[in-house]
Structures are given as C-alpha cells and as structure tokens.
Amino acid sequence: MTGTLVVWDFDWSLFEENSDTIIFKQLSPYLFQQQRERAGKEQWTDLMASLLVALHQEGISRKRLEDFLDGLKLEPEMIQSLLLSKSKGAKHIILSDSNTIFIDKCLKASGVLDVFELVRTNPAQFDSEGCLRVTRLTPQSNPHNCALCNVNICKGKEMKSYLKGKEDFDRMIYVGDSKNDLCPSLLLRSQDIVLARSGFSLVPLLKAAKENDQLKASVIEWQDPKHLQRIFEQLFEH
C-alpha cells in the first residue's frame, strides 16, 4: 500500500468553468449559440471539432486562441489544494472530456503542470494553418462499450489502465461533478472518497448508487474552490 491518489475531472472540478464553452462564449457569440443549439444532437467531441474549425474560419488565429487559453488559470484555492496534497506525497492524474491543448495551457499558466503524472483526455493539436484539431480519445472504430460513459472516453477504463501494475494506494480520492464521473466512482473501495460537487449531476447519481449498494466509497459534497480547499486541509492534515 502506498499513499494517496487524487483523480481529477477537469471542467467544473479542477477548473472553475467549462473549458469547451468558455472559448466560444468569449471569442464568438455566434458559435457559442450554435454550440448551445447543437448540444445533445451531436456527439460532443465531434461538435467541438466542428466548432473549432468554424472558429478558425471566422479569423481567430492560433496566436489569438493561444493567448486566450494562456489566460485561463485555476483558482488560487485549487492550486493550494494541489500543492498541499502533493507536499504530503499524494499523486495526481486528470481524466477529462476536454482536450490536451486546453488542459496543458491551463496547467502551465497556473504553474502546476508538474503536479500531474497523467492527463487522459481528447487529443488536440494545431495543424499547419493554425486550426486547432480535436479528435476523440476513444475512436469510433474501437469503442469502449461502457454504458455509463460518453463514447469518446471511459474514465473507469482509463483509471484502471493507470492503476494496472502499480502497488495499491492506501486511499484514492476522486474529484468530479458530472455523470461521466460515475463509472470511475463505482470502482472505488470502501476506504476511498468521492468529492462530488454540489448542484451538479454526479451527486444524485451517487446517492442512487449508494442506495442500490453499487457504491462502496464515501461521498463528500463541496460547493466551491474555497470549500474544497478546506476539505483538502482536513484530508491531508497529517
């Protein structure tokens, strides 16, 4: 047994926004409206890929997009929670439905990129013309077949892949907010903890899972970064 592993969702968990929507909200109100109208009708990662191409066609250059992304930072309380837990020997990974460019930029701008051992999310890169291209982490040609997760990523599968071959952790902490965080939460043990954000979809799903004896881990709800920081201070006080 060895220490604590903290597994983070990104949007509305580690990062105090939805990184997939904020860029359109700020850079293209028209595409933001398109995103809202098309959400639920198209697979989300595919929709993001299409909208990012449209953003480039609107004249948003790579530099302008990167400059905007460089301004997206974690809240100070989140940074302190990361640094405190790391100082106590905790290891950190991210499992996210965002993309590699968004997350990498945010972590670098916040000075915490080296805190994380692994970031598993949708691959993204700029092409030769400066257009940001995003693809699904799990391609349609090789589905993960998990009924609980979005088709582009099974967070439970990714968490198990990270843990494979490693010595068991004394404790695992999962920080999440949405239905896509249910699958990995159900894999946790009785000594583990789910830190579920209040007011988001994960909380009622966990309550139902607990009532059906599907969830072994304990659940602690948190309201905002300041509240989460206080919880981290309690969890890592020794």
Q: How far is CA 235 from CA 2, 48, 144, 171, 231, in A?
A: 16, 36, 34, 11, 6
| Mean pLDDT to the nearest integer, 3-7 | 98
Q: Is residue 152 part of a domain?
A: yes
Please give the DSSP secondary-structure letter assigned to residue 123.
-
Q: Is residue 38 part of a domain?
A: no
- Residue 181 falls in the annotated catalytic set: no
- Residue 11 falls in the annotated catalytic set: yes
Q: Is residue 44 part of a domain?
A: no
Is 224 known as a binding-site position? no
**Residue-level pLDDT at 194:** 99
Q: How many CB atoms lie within 10 A of CB 91?
A: 20
Is 104 known as a binding-site position? no
pTM of the model: 0.96
Q: Is residue 89 part of a domain?
A: yes
pLDDT higher than threshold 70 for residue 1: no
Q: 79: which residues sit within 8 A by CB, 6+ positions away?
A: 110, 111, 112
Residues facing residue 196 across a β-bridge: 176, 221
Q: Is residue 92 part of a domain?
A: yes
Q: Is residue 137 part of a domain?
A: no
Residue type, 217: A
Q: Is residue 156 part of a domain?
A: yes
Instruction: Kindly report, residue by residue over 116-136, the tens digit of the pLDDT.
Output: 999 999 999 999 999 999 999
Cα 62 to Cα 49: distance, rounded to the nearest angstrom: 15
Average pLDDT value over all residues in the chain: 97
- Annotated active-site residue in 11, 104, 168, 213: 11
pLDDT higher than threshold 70 for residue 98: yes
Q: 60: which residues sit within 8 A by CB, 6+ positions away?
A: 27, 28
Q: Is residue 43 part of a domain?
A: no
| Mean pLDDT to the nearest integer, 30-50 | 98
**Residue-level pLDDT at 23:** 97
- Of the candidates 185, 188, 173, the residue with the CA atom closest to the CA atom of residue 3: 173
Q: What is the CATH number of the domain that holds 91?
A: 3.40.50.1000
Phi, psi at 99, each rounded to 5°:
-155, 165
| Mean pLDDT to the nearest integer, 188-205 | 98
Is 20 known as a binding-site position? yes
Which residue range is the domain that position 153 belongs to?
4-16+74-121+144-235
pLDDT higher than threshold 90 for residue 2: no
Q: Provide the number of structural domains found in the chain.
A: 1
Residue 177 burial (CB < 10 Å; 0-12/13-18/19+)? buried
pLDDT confidence band for 140 (50 / 70 / 90): confident
